[in-house]
């Protein structure tokens, strides 16, 4: 086992310190991790699950020392591509032991491993949080190489959120740091990332400059996998420049190298990139004859279908998304509109799923105070802007000399219409947003996100809702949901709690914003007790024609603000929301489950039953209480 750890940990540390990025498919998709534990000969004997099985056998035999921290961190990292949830769990165990031992080097490594797993889950908020924790420790210890790597990972998160100015600023600053310590491997990676950013911004000459710089260093280092990445990136830039001959040449060269290394993700990405070139060739020739058009389309579809099969095999939704989109375009260009629509539907389904999970606004939840990007509600607020313009026009027109009775009537009618529509819009805004936020939005046209440090989040969910929906039928189901949620709305208003939203059968609300409330935890607990009593009473009267409820509560801090452009919404983010969800998930029918934090705030005013420490997904073991 010692030999296994000697083999395992240097690789894990190396990969964590030099996590390469993939210049993505098409528009610059990214992947921090590229290995599947098959680089070099270090994992010739044991890989992936086999290595995990070996470590699991040895883990109980280990003493509570730094070697065990290393082993737990190794488990965390190895799981990233198999089961990120498990990876996070073992990373948390490594953090706990490293903290107990006061071993900062191991703590930084564990934080980094957890960040990798969250990144793999597309939970960029949590990934960023743990990368920053690791960075803080590394900077305290003076580990410049590791700090450069983590800064690179942070830049990649901003890049994946299309915050290119921030990503470029991080990367250029980080490049200088890497050059100062003469870390050629990281210089190559950072140059590649800068090339990706310039490509995404449409500066293709700059993109090629950095891509070729990265390629030159990688060829010097002799890392075939990294070379394949840079070659593929160059091919993508040539496609954007419409230099299709060079795009195909570099794309096929990259594909061949990826096949030699056996990296499945790069193979899938390169297949998609080549297919995209052939689609672009046909697309650009729509207005003029193209000899061999059918052959080009056939090649495009062939490459894209191969990419789709490869990306499905490794569950790479980013590549799948790009492949479906280009397949839709290819079929449309070939006249197969039915197939084009089918592929387009799948593309949008994946895109919606991916972005719903990633939630592009997650970056705003970290360092919100200085990095939150104000979002103008262009489309959603169009009505208000039109009304303002019309009102101004009316005001000016009143100073004019009007002739004719009809014109006067028209002015009066128009003024009445504007006033009526304004009132309607104001009522709509107040129904969607807290009054303070609506007022700010009307006055400024935008609303800044704000952090609230003392709030309590309540989340309820109906038990076995799917079965109830089958039993009740659609009309009765919607009617019963409406009755329950109306009652909940009334209870929330009674205790000055802000309803945030309903998600299916779940009900989310928060106390302590936008106006602070010193009794936020107490008021939320009282509201929860009333909600539960209402459902218990309704259950007694209606039986299985209604639902059983499960409630979770947690107190802490959140960020709140408006998201979206069309169908905008006021929403909340932060770990407090996540833990409230874990409280609800670990509650029981007819029970209100609260966290240790909430318990400390209300323990003198309510009867609380300690449940012990219960395993919560991605959070480890948490103390929980039933309140009544």
pLDDT of residue 623: 93
* The residue count for the chain: 628
Residues 72 and 113 sit within 8 Å (Cβ to Cβ): no
530 versus 445: the higher-pLDDT residue is 530
Distances (CA, A) of 311 to 256, 463, 619: 17, 36, 30
Range 139-160 average pLDDT: 84
Alpha carbon distance 265, 259 (integer Å): 10
Confidence (pLDDT) at 449: 65
Interval 208-247: pLDDT, tens: 999 999 999 999 998 888 899 999 999 999 999 999 999 9
Residue 611 pLDDT more than 80? Answer: yes
Please tell me the distance from the alpha carbon of residue 179 to that of residue 167, in angstroms, as a whole number: 18
pLDDT in tens, 5-34: 444 444 444 444 444 344 444 333 333 333
**Overall average pLDDT of the 490-498 stretch:** 91
Confidence band of 435 (pLDDT split at 50, 70, 90): low
Span of 277-281, 463-467, 479-483 with lowest mean pLDDT:
463-467
- What's the confidence (pLDDT) of residue 367? 36
* More confident site: 559 or 354: 559
Going by the DSSP 8-state scheme, the letter that residue 543 receives in this structure is G
Q: What is the pTM of this model?
A: 0.51
Predicted local confidence at residue 437, as pLDDT = 60
Task: Give dist(CA 574, CA 593) in Å, integer.
Answer: 19
Asked if residue 98 has a cis previous peptide bond (ω within 30° of 0), the answer is no
Of the given ranges (121-125, 216-220, 524-528), which has the lowest mean pLDDT?
121-125
Q: What percent of the chain has pLDDT over 90?
A: 33
pLDDT more than 70, % of the chain? 74
User: Which token pair is 610?
Assistant: 């300690």
> How confident is the model at residue 447, as a pLDDT?
56
According to the model, what pLDDT value does residue 511 have? 94
- Residue-averaged pLDDT of the chain: 77
Return the pLDDT at 56.
73
pLDDT in tens, 104-113: 989 998 998 8
Summarize pLDDT for 352-364 with one digit per residue, the tens: 665 444 444 443 3
Residue 310 has pLDDT above 80, yes or no: yes
Is the per-residue pLDDT at 399 higher than 80?
A: no
């Amino acid at each position: 086992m010692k030999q296994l750890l000697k083999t395992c940990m240097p690789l894990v540390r190396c990969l964590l310190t030099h996590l390469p990025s993939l210049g993505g498919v098409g528009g610059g998709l990214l992947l921090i991790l590229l290995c599947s534990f098959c680089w070099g000969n270090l994992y010739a004997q044991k890989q992936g699950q086999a290595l995990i099985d070996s470590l699991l056998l040895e883990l109980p035999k280990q003493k509570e020392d730094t070697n065990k921290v290393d082993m737990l961190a190794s488990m965390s990292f190895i799981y990233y591509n198999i089961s990120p949830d498990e990876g996070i769990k073992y990373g948390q165990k490594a953090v706990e032991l490293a903290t107990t031992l006061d071993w900062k080097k191991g703590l930084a490594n564990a934080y980094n491993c957890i960040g990798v797993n969250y990144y793999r889950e597309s939970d960029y908020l949590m990934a960023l949080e743990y990368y920053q924790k690791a960075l803080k420790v590394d900077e305290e210890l003076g580990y410049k190489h590791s700090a450069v790597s983590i800064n690179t990972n942070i830049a990649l998160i901003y890049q994946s959120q299309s915050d290119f100015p921030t990503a470029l600023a991080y990367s250029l600053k980080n490049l200088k740091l890497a050059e100062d310590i003469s870390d050629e491997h990281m210089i190559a990676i950072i140059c590649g990332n800068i090339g990706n950013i310039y490509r995404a911004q449409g500066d293709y000459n700059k993109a090629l400059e950095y891509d070729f710089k990265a390629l030159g260093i990688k060829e010097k280092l002799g890392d075939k996998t990294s070379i394949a990445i840079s070659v593929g990136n160059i091919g993508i830039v040539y496609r954007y420049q419409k230099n299709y001959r060079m795009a195909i040449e570099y794309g096929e060269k990259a594909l061949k190298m990826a096949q030699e290394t056996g990296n499945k993700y790069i193979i899938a990405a390169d297949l998609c990139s080549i297919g995209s070139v052939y689609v672009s060739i046909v697309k650009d020739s729509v207005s003029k004859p193209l000899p061999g058009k059918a052959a080009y389309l056939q090649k495009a579809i062939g490459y894209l279908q191969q990419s789709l099969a490869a990306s499905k095999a490794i569950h790479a939704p980013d590549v799948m998304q790009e492949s479906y989109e280009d397949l839709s375009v290819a079929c449309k260009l070939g006249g197969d509109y039915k197939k084009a629509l089918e592929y387009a539907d799948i593309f949008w389904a994946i895109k919606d799923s991916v972005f719903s999970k990633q939630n592009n606004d997650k970056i705003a939840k970290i360092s919100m105070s200085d990095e939150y990007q104000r979002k103008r509600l262009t489309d959603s607020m169009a009505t208000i802007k039109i009304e303002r313009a019309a009102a101004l026009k009316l005001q000016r027109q009143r100073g004019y000399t009007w002739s004719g009775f009809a014109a006067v009537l028209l002015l009066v009618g128009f003024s009445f219409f504007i006033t009526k529509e304004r009132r309607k819009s104001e009522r709509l805004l107040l129904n969607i947003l807290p009054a303070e936020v609506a007022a700010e939005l009307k006055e400024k046209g935008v609303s800044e996100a704000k952090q609230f440090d003392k709030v309590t989040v309540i989340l309820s969910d109906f038990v076995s809702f799917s079965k109830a929906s089958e039993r009740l039928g659609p009309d009765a189901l919607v009617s019963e949901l409406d009755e329950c949620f109306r009652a909940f709305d009334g209870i929330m208003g009674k205790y000055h709690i802000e309803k945030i939203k309903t998600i299916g059968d779940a009900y989310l609300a928060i106390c302590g914003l936008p106006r602070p409330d010193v009794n936020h935890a107490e008021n939320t607990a009282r509201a929860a007790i009333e909600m539960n009593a209402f459902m218990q009473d309704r259950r007694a009267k209606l039986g299985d024609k209604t639902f059983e409820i499960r409630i979770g509560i947690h107190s802490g801090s959140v960020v709140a603000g408006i998201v979206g452009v069309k169908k905008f919404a006021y929403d909340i983010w932060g770990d407090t929301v996540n833990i409230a969800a874990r409280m609800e998930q670990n509650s029981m029918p007819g029970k209100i489950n609260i966290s240790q934090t909430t318990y400390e705030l209300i323990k003198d005013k309510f009867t609380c039953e300690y449940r012990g420490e219960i395993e919560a997904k991605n959070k480890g073991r948490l103390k929980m209480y039933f309140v009544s």
